[in-house]
A and B are shown apart, each in its own frame.
Chain A
Amino acid sequence: MAIPTLFLVSLIVFGLQKLLPGDPLLTMAGEERDPAVIEFLREKYRLNDPFYMQYLYWVRDVLTGDFGNSLRTGVPVSTLIAQKLPVTIQLAVMAMIFALLIGIPTGIMSAVKKGKAPDYAANAIALSGVSIPNFWLGIILIMVVSVQWRLLPASGYVPLTEDPIQSLRTMLMPSFVLATALGAYLMRHTRSAMLGVLSSDYIRTAKAKGLMPRVVVLKHALRNALMPIVTLTTLLFGELLAGAVLTEQVFTIPGFGKLIVDAVFTRDYAVVQGVVLCTAVGFIFMNLLADILYILINPRLRHPQ
């Protein structure tokens, strides 16, 4: 099932890259534009071959496990992915945990207290979360927490395996910054879904039966509000795996986001191809996970008509 998607993705990305304006070798050459060298490299990287041949060569190499080397730095793409995947996953997991911890409880509270002060407050905070660009919030946090208070490092990444505490400390601010917008999405969806459920007949019946409100809320309503939350969480997590460019840039975290943006700007084809393939696997996996979770939430889906 994953194969057609990966094929489609690689073909589209390969094609799009070829269509982009800008010549990778000219871009790479920068101030050192030596025509002879450019022509030599064009031959070497088979850029003079027809498009489909370039693609076929690439597919052949990938099938033998060779993702090529970065045109810009000469580092193998597989090395780059191995270096950056753990960073990206750690950031994504921490950000998602924060987002869920912030988004779901406030969403529930907001729905239960609809039209009251906590609801207004939660909404205002959530919406400022999406309105403030991550870049901006990140810099403010660095200036206050790192420069003024000297509490957390402003940047840098320490692998979890090397020094777990320091690793968590460096990732604390970036994952929080990411979680502000994600948490806001989750909060707004949780609230909406909860409102829908809370006003439905069976919840009223449950209340009428004298069931405790908290039990009603958590056991019945939340379970049925989960559909959009599952969709959103899996999708957002996939997006996190594709890299959080601006946040990575502010906190100089060596993740996928910065890697791919740089690679696109310098037309470093092999890197773009490799990373996109990798993130495509992430999206496929997350979508699969979503479908499994749907069935767990709503067992009727197990027996399609």
Chain B
Amino acid sequence: MTAQVTTASAEAIAPKRKLGRAMTKFLKNRSAVFGGALVLLFVLLAIFAPLIATHDPFQTSFTTIRKPPSAAFWLGTDELGRDIFTRMLYGSRASLMAGVISVTIAVIVGVPLGLIAGYYGGWTDAVISRITEALLAIPFLILAIALAAFLGPSLTNAMIAIGLSAVPIFIRLTRGQALAVKTEDYVEGARAIGLPNPLIMARYIFPNVLPPIMVQATITVATAIIAEASLSFLGLGQQPPNPSWGSMLNTAKNFMTQAPWMSIFPGGAIFLVVLGFNLLGDGLRDALDPRDN
């Protein structure tokens, strides 16, 4: 019997009223507001990096190599004597973009494909599923090197590579949810009264797909920020001497015991940004959930 009740029974609610209520609900949610503030803070830091920076991000100095945090260098210096605080500020631009844009690419490509596959089923599903499997099986590295070679080395192309590699998981998650929901009575009902398929997908299926997508998207931000660093190694991603958090971490691993501050601060920043996005995501999820109070 339990099988008949399913994950969600999202009734259609007039969109505008819903949005206003969601906003109030979101603002009441302290952890969501905190998460939003955290994200906003990092975005502002990235935008105003040149104004806040205490040093030149590229200025090497042979007298200040690997100095621990101090009044002069708030977060210490790196292996070439550059100020870590300043480099992190500038690095936040590449890292935030890598995180957000590649996830956006993955969602924009993956969610519609997953919806179509799950909702229509049959050969549509078969084709999309086979392509997903093929995409999964192709090593990320090959994709990345090929992109670096043909589109040229740049941060944008790194984001495309990371985004593409995250597409399958969004397809599969969306498809799974769509499969579960499409047998619901209210979907069957909508179909019976002759609503067009795209509308059914948008209004009845999509809201049920949203929670896991939100969770996946906010958490993939972290993976993407870290992946950017491994790509700069291939000539994709941020190019030296321009910093990104991921590439700073990469360098820092050679100095883990001698200069722990080189890894702790970029690592901590990734954590805070991801925390921010996740709390924000949770808040949005709660706010948009019509049943929660």
Which residues of A lie under 8 Å from residue B222 when comparing CB positions? 127, 130-131
**Nearest-CB distance from A258 to chain B (Å)?**
12
For A8, give its contact among B9, B134, B173, B253 (CB under 8 Å): B134
Bound-state CA distance A305–B168 (Å) is 26
**Nearest-CB distance from A55 to chain B (Å)?**
16
Which residues of B lie under 8 Å from residue A232 when comparing CB positions? 169, 173
**Nearest-CB distance from B213 to chain A (Å)?**
9
For A227, give its contact among B7, B129, B130 (CB under 8 Å): B7
Q: Does B172 contact A (CB under 8 A)?
A: yes
Q: Are A200 and B9 in contact (CB under 8 A)?
A: yes
Q: Does A279 contact B (CB under 8 A)?
A: yes
Which residues of B lie under 8 Å from residue A4 when comparing CB positions? 130
Q: Give the number of residue pairs across the A-B interface with Cβ within 8 Å.
A: 196
Contact A224 B5, CB 8 Å, known A136-B267, A264-B141 = yes
Which residues of B lie under 8 Å from residue A124 when comparing CB positions? 275
Q: Are B145 and A264 in contact (CB under 8 A)?
A: yes
Q: Does B56 contact A (CB under 8 A)?
A: no
Q: Are B278 and A127 in contact (CB under 8 A)?
A: yes
For A280, give its contact among B134, B223, B226 (CB under 8 Å): B134
Q: Does A165 contact B (CB under 8 A)?
A: no
Bound-state CA distance A261–B214 (Å) is 31
Q: Are A189 and B212 in contact (CB under 8 A)?
A: yes
Contact A196 B7, CB 8 Å, known A19-B149, A21-B145, A231-B172 = yes
Contact A260 B139, CB 8 Å, known A20-B145, A298-B180 = yes
* 30 pairs, A vs B, C-beta closer than 8 Å: A16-B146, A20-B146, A127-B278, A130-B274, A131-B271, A132-B267, A133-B226, A136-B263, A188-B278, A189-B216, A195-B211, A195-B286, A196-B289, A224-B7, A228-B177, A231-B172, A231-B173, A232-B169, A232-B173, A235-B168, A239-B136, A242-B137, A261-B139, A264-B141, A276-B137, A283-B137, A287-B132, A298-B3, A298-B6, A299-B3
| Most-contacted residue by chain A among B137, B138, B226 (CB, 10 A) | B137
Q: Does A290 contact B (CB under 8 A)?
A: yes
Interface size on B, residues (CB 8 A): 67
**Which A residues contact B (CB, under 8 angstroms)?**
1, 4-5, 8-9, 12-13, 16-17, 19-21, 115, 120, 123-124, 127-128, 130-133, 135-136, 139-140, 143, 181, 184-185, 188-189, 191-193, 195-197, 199-202, 219-220, 223-225, 227-228, 230-232, 235, 238-239, 242, 260-261, 264-265, 272, 276, 279-280, 283-284, 287, 290, 294, 297-301, 304-305
**Nearest-CB distance from B64 to chain A (Å)?**
25
Bound-state CA distance A141–B7 (Å) is 40
Within 8 A of A (CB), among B132-171: 132-134, 136-139, 141-143, 145-146, 149-150, 168-169
Which residues of A lie under 8 Å from residue B6 when comparing CB positions? 224, 298
Bound-state CA distance A239–B168 (Å) is 11
Q: Are A20 and B137 in contact (CB under 8 A)?
A: no
Q: Are B8 and A200 in contact (CB under 8 A)?
A: yes
